[in-house]
Copies of this chain bind each other. A is one copy, B any other.
Amino acid sequence: MSLPSEKIITLGHGGGGRLMHELIVDELLAASDVMTERDLEDAALIDNGRLAISTDGFTVQPIFFPGGDIGKLAACGTINDLAMRGARPRWLSVAMIIQEGFLLEDLRRIVRSIREACAADGAHVVTGDTKVVGRSAADGIFITTTGVGERFAEPAPGVTAARPGDRVLVSGTLGDHGVCILAAREELSLAQTVESDCASLLSLAEAVITAGAGGVRTLRDMTRGGMSAVVNEVALASEVSMEIEEDAVPVRPEVRGACELLGMSPLEIANEGKLLAIVAPEAAEDVLAAMRAHPLGRNAALVGEVGDGPAGRVAARTALGTLRLIDLPAGELLPRIC
């Protein structure tokens, strides 16, 4: 017996695209009496806005990959979500669900990665939990990290703050993490190895916010669903349109090649160390310079502009000068990418 797809959870519900957006808006927001669709931020502000909190579950497969592992990913993912709201991570919790038979040595490596990532940003793991499930009940290890951070930016950058005329910047090449994971799974054979860009974006976010001098509207790390998901979410939440210069988006040649093989756009592929910034026009030049002066922002680029067209409409101008719509990716693009 198979159930109609509107009654069950599909892999598409986890992909960072339209199905996930609908799942969250239609079903999960019901769990909260204080969140609305406009509050779908990377981190929520609490304690009268003094603190921010964010949570993420990590299921990446394989758990070790070029450029990182599930521990670094989990720590940096949570650090980044706080940094995107202008908060400095202070306290992290780590909850692990581990499959029976998992190697202790692998667990030690993961734990070291979490600790190193936290130490680099002055964050502390203050509490945790461990559950073990039978061999058939989980695959390897799942890690959920939750972070609480102290706000350093006033106002906090947010998904509803983009205004027509604002500039759209990205901090570097897109798609590295997603292509790295696919190659590590050998689902994609590549002549060259692409490393994951997995990294903490805290110091980059600090540099961007300082250089922006109050002109940074929105910061967002481009994880599941990639840049396409982020620009759509911002355009919807801010009720603006957006136009992206496709040729201005930095993409490594080997990532572009892999995307052609996959029939996907690099704009839809997950990153784990890249942010998108929407900044006031007068701040754009300083923010771009600050990004490029940072080790994680050397390939930063101005890629587009916010417009006053239909709310939520995002278009890319192609090399040929034509416009194509960039939609929220539909369903599951790459399962277990993070």
Contacts and interface: CB of A to CB of B under 8 A. Distances in A.
Q: Which of A6, A54, A142 has the most CB of B within 10 A?
A: A142
Contact of A96 (B41, B43, B57): B57
16 contacts: A8-B102, A9-B98, A9-B102, A11-B100, A13-B98, A14-B131, A20-B130, A27-B104, A28-B130, A31-B94, A31-B111, A32-B124, A53-B148, A54-B93, A95-B146, A97-B97
B146 A108 contact: no
A131 B119 CA distance: 27
A132 B333 CA distance: 12
A62 interface: no
A31 B126 CA distance: 9
A130 B100 contact: no
Contacts of A146: 53, 55, 93, 95, 144, 146
A114 interface: yes
Contacts of A3: 101, 103
A31 to B, nearest CB: 4
A105 interface: yes
Interface residues on A, range: 35 or more
Number of identical monomers bound together in the oligomeric complex: 2
Contacts of A33: 115, 118-119, 124-125
A50 to B, nearest CB: 9
Contacts of A24: 128, 130
Interface string A76-99: 000000000000001101111111
A316 to B, nearest CB: 28
A238 interface: no
Interface in A280-322: none
B9 A127 contact: no
Leading 4 A-B pairs by shortest Cβ distance: A14-B132, A55-B93, A146-B146, A144-B144
A124 B34 contact: yes
A95 B43 CA distance: 13
Contacts of A185: none
A56 interface: yes
A129 interface: yes
Given A9-B101, A27-B108, A126 B46 contact: yes
A103 B7 contact: yes
Interface stretch (A133-141, A164-172, A204-212): A133-141
Contacts of A126: 32, 34-35, 44, 46, 53
Contacts of A28: 94, 96, 111, 128, 130
Given A8-B104, A11-B134, A57-B97, 6 more contacts: A8-B102, A11-B133, A20-B130, A32-B124, A46-B148, A59-B133
A256 interface: no
A68 interface: no
A298 B59 CA distance: 43
A148 to B, nearest CB: 6
B55 A127 contact: yes
A47 to B, nearest CB: 8
Nearest to A8: B101
